[in-house]
Structure 1
Amino acid sequence: MRSTFSLLPYINRSKVKADGTTAVLCRITIDGKQTVISTGIYCRPEDWNGRKNEIKTVRENNRLREYLRLTEEAYTEILKSQGVVSAEMLKNHISLNNIHPTTLLQMGEWERERLKKHSEEIDSTSSYRASMYYQKYLTDFIASTGRKDMLLEEVTEDFGKSYKAHLKK
């Protein structure tokens, strides 16, 4: 049975946090049944383009596009494995699998898993092997600052410069 499926990202302008940002939500519609899930992404209301359903800042917009892509993949995966998908099933799958990493090392581990699958598809492990080293270097650098991990929002240009200097040592 073929189902209708759509994703609609949007913001709730009436719920702005003290720092001036609001959550980007995603409405999942399958066969006319809807559910809403938070993407874990935040933006200022003036940075939201309601006509294009995107964020003006490139970094956050790329995170949103990746979230939507992963949600579509999850939909396809559930449909293939179970033969039927509902909006609630997809929401639960996304929530349980935490497909939107919020910290730097989580994102690195997610990327390593993606590279592992890709390396098996193309029968080449060089990128995957290199990603293991880079993840280790990043983990060591973050640990040297006295932290276990850091939020993606905390990654700044200064962090990048410090990390680059650390790698040169």
Structure 2
Amino acid sequence: MKRMRSTFKGLFFLKRDKQKKDGSVPVYCRITIDGKEARFGMKKNIDPKLWNVKEGKATGKSAESSEVNALLEKTKAGIHKIYRDIQERENAVSAEKVKNIFLGIDSKQYMLLKAFDEHVEENLI
């Protein structure tokens, strides 16, 4: 079976139009595969002054920056793994499919991602 090559990119950005009362804004993830996008909120807010737009991550050594960057790294690793897994199993990979599996919307992967989410929640509190 011939593999289809696809372009894959995971990127993080701030949703500046959804600013909270404290001035922080939500962090979002955008997955792009072959020019088609899927995006989701990271359930994490950050002070926009701590955000490096070019690098798509928080700057500085503050606890807030470290916490956000750790979450971004885990998310990036997670979506890359899901992307590779789908590519190995089936030919068609879509940004929406990667997002749904990562978020636990795909029932087959649901238990694994639920456990991952609980692990993340426990380590962020």
Q: Would you say how many aligned residue pairs link Structure 1 and Structure 2? A: 109
TM-score, normalized by length of structure 1?
Answer: 0.58
Q: CA RMSD in A?
A: 2.2
Q: Does structure 1 residue 28 correspond to structure 2 residue 36? A: no
The whole-number CA distance in structure 1 between the counterparts of 2:80 and 2:122 is 27
Listed one character per residue, the Cα deviations across residues 86-138 of structure 1 (whole Å, up to 9, x for unaligned) are 1111111112144762xxxx21xx7xxxxxxxxxxxxxxxxxxxxxxxxxxxx
- Cα distance 1:150–1:77, how it changes in 2: closer, same or farther (>3 A)? closer
Identify unmatched segments of 5+ residues in structure 2.
60-64, 105-109
The whole-number CA distance in structure 2 between the counterparts of 1:78 and 1:41 is 27
Identify unmatched segments of 5+ residues in structure 1.
111-148, 156-169
- Cα distance 1:62–1:46, how it changes in 2: closer, same or farther (>3 A)? same
Return the structure number with greater relative CO, CA threshold 8 A, min gap 6.
2
TM-score, normalized by length of structure 2?
Answer: 0.76
Aligned to 2:6: 3
- State the identity %: 31
Alignment of 1:64-79 (within 5 A): 64-79=72-87
More strand by share: 2
The whole-number CA distance in structure 2 between the counterparts of 1:18 and 1:151 is 26
Give 1 or 2 for the bigger CA radius of gyration.
Answer: 1
More helix by share: 1
Aligned to 1:38: 41
Listed one character per residue, the Cα deviations across residues 35-76 of structure 1 (whole Å, up to 9, x for unaligned) are 111122221111111011111212221111111111111111
